[in-house]
Structure 1
Amino acid sequence: MIRTVATTPFEGQKPGTSGLRKKVKVFQQPHYVENFVQALFDSLSDFEGETLVIGGDGRFYNREAIQTVIRMAAAAGFGRVLVGKGGILSTPAASCVIRKHEAFGGIILSASHNMGGPEGDFGIKYNIGNGGPAPESVTDAIFERSKTIAEYSISDAPDVDLDALGLTRVEDMVVDVIDPVEDYAELMGTLFDFDAIRDLFATGFTMRFDAMSAVTGPYARAILEETLGAKGGTVVHGEPLPDFGGHHPDPNLVHAKDLYDLLMSDHAPDLGAASDGDGDRNMIIGRGLYLTPSDSLAIIAANAHLAPGYKAGIAGIARSMPTSGAADRVAAKLGITCYETPTGWKFFGNLLDAGLATVCGEESFGTGSNHVREKDGLWAVLMWLNILAVRRQSLADIVSEHWAAYGRNFYTRHDYEEVDAAAADGLVGELRRRLDGLPGTVINGLTVEKADDFAYHDPVDGSVTTRQGVRIFFSDGSRIVYRLSGTGTAGATLRVYIERFEPDADRHGIDTQEVLADLIEIARALPDIPGRTGRAAPNVIT
């Protein structure tokens, strides 16, 4: 039986760059999930009888929210739901399933790399039929509807057994509980030379993959250990846990420090890698060498032809604006375009659908290609394994050769997390007010060449997205970028990106923070970060 339930709007149900993210306790309020899902369905049309994909990263409250979404999908008139066994479906796997099964769209229950558990974060994101995140036209419509919603419809049906593969019914809708790994693993087998990677492991190549007690564990074990022959135990923290084992599932130098320390030790394996809460981010570390996501994107683009799925070459590269210019140099040598977009994977969708770009990346540990419409952590790891298997060099040697050929973009990101939102807005607002007067000024011996607030003109649909980050360019080619992140749930996160190009190979081995020390000081002093935020230093440096 389908019920109509009276409700009233909640404030703040505005989806950000990756859906609606709030604390678990916010989502646990009566009617909160239902209001947002109903607003989502009310913003869509022509889905009667269509297929909806549902899954999540296994975090706390995942199963309960999925049951609610299933019952509301039945009430809304969907004909079929595909849901991952146990409620599990990584974000890239969800995109894969949407595309393979030609679904109308999908709902992903995740807060990505944010903390889990009862005191942690939760999130809901809608992906459209191409498998990618909903564009702003859809998320804006959801938000507007959430402000006026007065009722929602939901089935009274009992919970679906999410742990049993197979078909059941909720009202007139078929619910198909699927293996969350199968479709994704099949796709990876078409893109990469699995035989070459098996041979690499057979020669004694060693690796550690840290799944961070998050969603990628089952995928990594199935592909790396069971299919490719990596020795048992290669995948650590491979069981998805509701609280991610009490750890922060973010693959960076702070939250994956144990992995970094291992790769810098005398007992290091040949390769270290990690993925995040919902499986769409990655960290790559070689023996004795941490690889920035910006460099990883550039080197992947330069070597993509070594993988069978990309042997014909790549049509173009796309990178988020804060990502370093390393990929631009690869694109120039290949004679293709490197597109610069705002942060947020949804901005790559039009480029991928139009065939203008093949490989995409963000400095925030996201890398992917046109195989799905999400960034894909395990894909990046497999691409690196394919490159290593063909070239039979260490990661450090491959990186050194790349820098020698293209030059090195020294690059760092300083994050000031949970800053008072008003203070953060004021800091960026003051920078915007000063933009016109900055060119020509000399700061600590460096001359500002130009300054702007990045705006993106989509070459496919002509849309314009403004106010995407304040950029300060210096006459020596260096730059500083200031941007407020939309992925947190408390206060504001101020991200500061600092970059300098160095063509001289003799200087490529210098410590990044040392090379960028003068720019780092300018980046702190120019907007008076300590004075405006009360923070003497960033929380995270990557």
Structure 2
Amino acid sequence: MIRVVATTPFDGQKPGTSGLRKKVAVFQQPHYVENFVQSIFDSLEGFEGETLVIGGDGRFYNREAIQIVLKMAAAAGFGRVMIGKGGILSTPAASCVIRKHEAFGGIILSASHNPGGVHGDFGIKYNVGNGGPAPEHVTDAIFERTTSIREYRIFDAPDIDLDTLGITRVGDMVVDVVDPVDDYAELMGTLFDFDAIRDLFASGFTMRFDAMSAVTGPYAHAILEDTLGAAHGTVVNGEPLPDFGGHHPDPNLVHAKELADLLMSDHAPDLGAASDGDGDRNMIIGRGRFVTPSDSLAIIAANAHLTPGYKAGIKGIARSMPTSGSADRVAAKLGVACYETPTGWKFFGNLLDAGLATVCGEESFGTGSNHVREKDGLWAVLMWLNIIAVRRQGVDEIVRAHWAEYGRNYYTRHDYEEVDSAAVDGLMETLRGQLESLPGTVVKGLTIARADDFAYHDPVDGSVTTKQGVRVFFTDQSRIVYRLSGTGTAGATLRVYIERFEPDPARHDQETQAALADLISVARVLPDIEGRTGRTEPSVIT
């Protein structure tokens, strides 16, 4: 039977760029999950009898939350729920399942690359029928509903066995527990030349894939080792754990340091890769060569035609505004458009659905294409493997050849994490107030050419998104971007992006922080980061 439960609103249930994220303890409050899920359902129309996909990254509280969502979906009138065995579905796999089975939408339980465990983070986001994150008009409606909710509906039923494949029911709703890997692996097989990659591994090519004790482990074991023939042990930290084994599941040089150190050592395999908590991010490292996500996007776009799924070429490239301009020059040479969007994968959805873009990427270690409507960590790794298999070159050789042809964008991101929110809000507002006066200003010998607060005009639906980051451009074509992140759960994160283009191949071997040292100094002084935040150094440099 359906039980109607009286409730009152919680403050702060506003979805960010990737849904609602808070500490686990916040989600564990009575009615908290229920309020948000009911607000999702109350903001949708036309789902009676339709299919809902549910899955998560296996973090702490994943199973408990899934049981709540299942019973509320039954009470709401969904006809069928598809859920990954064990409650597991990577974010790109969830998008794949939504699209393949023409589901109405999906609920993904994840806080992506944020830490897990009892004292870690948890998250819920809604994906629409194209498989992508809900657009802003939907998340705005969900938030509005959370502020006025007075009751929720839930089906009284025993918990579902999430660990046995097959069909059960909650009331009249069918619950289909499916293998979380099957549909995704099938899709990858249509995009990439698995035979060529098998031959690559058979030739002695070596690899280390760090799943960071997160959701990508089962996918990597099944595809890389079982299907493609990579040596047993290629995948490490391959079992999803509720606390990610104590890892911070963010695949960057700081949190995947062990992998990075290995690839820079004398015992390095040919390729190193890692993915994050929910499987949508990736890090690519060759022997002695870290590939920035911006460069990875550009190299993938330039070489996508070497793979079966993209042999006809790409229709366009989309990148988030903070991502370096390296992909822009690839687009120019290919004669396709390059779209600059706000941060957040949902902004790529319209471009992909309209056929305007094929490959998309963000500097925050996210890359993907029109095969799903999420960024996809393992897809990026398979793309690199396919490119290497066809070109028969190592990662470093491919990167250097790319720079020689297109020039190099020296690029870094400095994160100031868990900073006082009021302090960084004040910093950003001060910068915005200086936009008109900054041009012509000389800071530490560098002259500012122009400055703005990035706004995006969607070419498909005409929507406008404002206040997406302050950009400062210099006369030497370098730039600095200041932006507040929406993915944290404590305090605020100020991200500072620093970039300089270098066309001369003779100057492509500088260390990144050294090559950008003058810009880094300006980036700190211009808004007085130390004076406003008390931070003398960033928390993370990538």
Q: TM-score range by the shorter chain?
A: over 0.9
How far did residue 387 of structure 1 move?
0.1
1:255 aligns with 2:270: no
For 1:95 and 1:517, the matched residues in 2 are separated by 41
The equivalent of 2:131 in structure 1 is 131
With normalisation by structure 1, the TM-score equals 1.00
1:307 aligns with 2:307: yes
> What SS class does the counterpart of residue 436 from structure 2 fall into?
helix
> What SS class does the counterpart of residue 436 from structure 1 fall into?
coil
What is the correspondence of 1:342-353 to structure 2 with a 5 Å cutoff? 342-353=342-353
The residue type equivalent to 1:318 in the other structure is: A
> What SS class does the counterpart of residue 201 from structure 1 fall into?
helix
The equivalent of 1:86 in structure 2 is 86
What is the correspondence of 1:167-206 to structure 2 with a 5 Å cutoff? 167-206=167-206
The residue type equivalent to 1:23 in the other structure is: K
The equivalent of 1:166 in structure 2 is 166
1:96 aligns with 2:78: no
1:508 aligns with 2:518: no
Residue by residue over 1:402-438, the C-alpha shift from the partner in whole angstroms, topping out at 9 and shown as x without a partner, is 0000000000000000000000101111000011100
> What SS class does the counterpart of residue 435 from structure 1 fall into?
coil
How far did residue 193 of structure 1 move?
0.2
For 2:442 and 2:111, the matched residues in 1 are separated by 42
The equivalent of 1:246 in structure 2 is 246
After the TM superposition, which segments of 4 or more aligned residues of structure 1 sit over 6 Å from their partners?
none
> What SS class does the counterpart of residue 214 from structure 1 fall into?
coil
How far did residue 63 of structure 1 move?
0.2
For 1:364 and 1:183, the matched residues in 2 are separated by 26
The residue type equivalent to 1:202 in the other structure is: A
The residue type equivalent to 2:306 in the other structure is: L
For 2:36 and 2:462, the matched residues in 1 are separated by 29
Residue by residue over 1:14-36, the C-alpha shift from the partner in whole angstroms, topping out at 9 and shown as x without a partner, is 00000000000000000000000
1:10 aligns with 2:3: no
For 1:419 and 1:427, the matched residues in 2 are separated by 11
The residue type equivalent to 2:83 in the other structure is: V
The residue type equivalent to 2:18 in the other structure is: S
The residue type equivalent to 2:155 in the other structure is: S
The residue type equivalent to 1:321 in the other structure is: M
For 1:148 and 1:360, the matched residues in 2 are separated by 37
For 1:424 and 1:178, the matched residues in 2 are separated by 45
How far did residue 443 of structure 1 move?
1.1
Residue by residue over 1:480-526, the C-alpha shift from the partner in whole angstroms, topping out at 9 and shown as x without a partner, is 00000000000000000000000010110100101100000000000
> What SS class does the counterpart of residue 283 from structure 1 fall into?
strand
- Quote the RMSD (CA, aligned, Å): 0.3
With normalisation by structure 2, the TM-score equals 1.00
For 2:264 and 2:371, the matched residues in 1 are separated by 33
> What SS class does the counterpart of residue 510 from structure 1 fall into?
coil
For 2:261 and 2:14, the matched residues in 1 are separated by 39
The equivalent of 1:433 in structure 2 is 433
The equivalent of 2:111 in structure 1 is 111
What is the correspondence of 1:108-507 to structure 2 with a 5 Å cutoff? 108-507=108-507
For 1:405 and 1:139, the matched residues in 2 are separated by 42
How far did residue 445 of structure 1 move?
1.3
> What SS class does the counterpart of residue 294 from structure 2 fall into?
helix
The residue type equivalent to 1:12 in the other structure is: G
For 1:134 and 1:82, the matched residues in 2 are separated by 19
> What SS class does the counterpart of residue 103 from structure 1 fall into?
coil
For 2:459 and 2:194, the matched residues in 1 are separated by 36
Residue by residue over 1:150-192, the C-alpha shift from the partner in whole angstroms, topping out at 9 and shown as x without a partner, is 0000011100000000000001000000000000000000000
The residue type equivalent to 1:432 in the other structure is: R
> What SS class does the counterpart of residue 300 from structure 1 fall into?
helix
Instruction: Name structure 2 gaps, 5 residues minimum.
Output: none
Residue by residue over 1:224-282, the C-alpha shift from the partner in whole angstroms, topping out at 9 and shown as x without a partner, is 00000000000000000000001100000100000000000000000000000000000
* Identical amino acids, percent of aligned pairs: 84
